[in-house]
Each structure stands twice: as C-alpha cells, then as structure tokens.
Amino acid sequence: MNATGTYERARRRWLGARRPVALWPLLAMMLYVSVGGFAGGIPLLRDPTGALAGAKLSWLEKTPVDDFVLPGIFLIAVYGVAVLVLMAGLIWRPSPGGLRRLDVATGRHWAWWGTMAVGSVLVIWILYEFLVLPAISWLMPTLLVLGFLMIGLPLLPSMRSYYKTERPERG
C-alpha cells in the first residue's frame, strides 16, 4: 500500500468515528490526576522528608517505607506519566506492536483497559491513605471519586463501542 492510501485510511479512521461525549470529561479528569501526580511527586523526590509537599514523616509510621521517595516515584510514574500515555491512547487510539496483539486478544483498546486499571489503582491508593494517614485532606475524597469515574466512564456503552477492536478473520 502506498503512503497516500495509508494516509487516507488514517484520515478516515480519525474523522469517521465520532468520539463519545463521555471521553471529554474523562480526559479532563485524567489531566487533573496527571498534573496532581507530577505536582505531588516532584516535591516528594526533591525533599524525601515530605516537608516541601506539606507531608510529615510520622504519616509513614504504618507504612512499609521510611521516606517519601517511593511514593514520589509512584505518583510521577503512574499518575503523571502513565495517565498522559493513556490519554494519548484514548484520543488517537494507536496500537503499536505488542499493544495491538493485546487489543485483539482482549477485544478492547489497551488505553481503555489501562484507564480502568489506573482508576482501580487510584481507588485502592486513596482507600489505603484513609486507613494509614492521620489527616484527611479534601483531595482524598475528590481523588476517590475520580478513580471511580475512571473505572465507570469507560464502561458506558458509547465508550465500550468506540474502543472495541476488531478481531482479524481467520482464513
């Protein structure tokens, strides 16, 4: 196939299927989570005592870590970087290499699954914080709701349909 045919196929795919309305609020929520991942993680890495982020080492007494380095790395990697990658996947629906095989095997785009997975991790993370942290911030219930929405919005029929992948015919 020539470059023009590839371009036209990509253009039709981009313009042909309208994105579900639910995608836009989901992306806004994910952007909020991503910015928060960087905003929370960077200060924890710059100052592992947590003072720069307004955290206290005493909060970690019931946890398996002694400082805020690992939580900072987690915030940046999972909520910062991974959420940005998932957002790009939800918008443009690329499926390179092994991800394409995953799409075909599961019947849904990898970013669809990944969004629900990160939403689940967010819910578990916040519930864990409720258990071990002595102080509860307004941010914790907000993030809990966002986590549940990251799980629930992709399950809407319009989202399920939009991110469904075609299984190749055998023959």
Q: Are 79 and 118 in contact (CB under 8 A)?
A: yes
156 by DSSP, 3-state: which?
Answer: coil
Return the structure tokens found at 155.
Answer: 């399950």
The structural domains of the chain, with segments of one domain joined by +, span 21-162
Q: Are 57 and 49 in contact (CB under 8 A)?
A: yes
Model pLDDT for residues 79-92, shown as the tens digit of each residue: 999 999 999 999 99
Return the structure tokens found at 151.
Answer: 């799980």
Q: Are 76 and 37 in contact (CB under 8 A)?
A: yes
Percentage above 90 pLDDT, the chain: 80
Percentage above 70 pLDDT, the chain: 88
pLDDT score of 9 more than 60: no
pLDDT score of 72 more than 70: yes
pLDDT of residue 16: 53
Q: Are 123 and 143 in contact (CB under 8 A)?
A: no
Q: How confident is the model at residue 134 (pLDDT cuts 50, 70, 90)?
A: confident
pLDDT of residue 109: 97
Residue 77: how many other CB atoms lie within 10 Å:
13
Give residue 93's region: left, alpha or beta (phi > 0; psi -120 to 50).
Answer: left
Model pLDDT for residues 26-62, shown as the tens digit of each residue: 999 999 999 999 999 999 999 999 999 999 999 999 8
Cα dihedral angle (60, 61, 66, 69), rounded to 10 degrees?
Answer: -10
Cα separation, 112 vs 155, in Å, equals 9
Mean pLDDT, the chain, whole residue set: 91
pTM of structure: 0.87
Beta-carbon contacts of 147 under 8 Å, excluding residues fewer than 6 positions away, are: 119, 120, 121, 122, 123, 125, 126
Q: How confident is the model at residue 170 (pLDDT cuts 50, 70, 90)?
A: low
Cα separation, 66 vs 58, in Å, equals 9
Main-chain phi, psi angles of 108, to 5 degrees: -140, 155
pLDDT score of 12 more than 60: no
Question: Taking residues 113-134, what's their average pLDDT?
Answer: 95
Q: How confident is the model at residue 78 (pLDDT cuts 50, 70, 90)?
A: very high
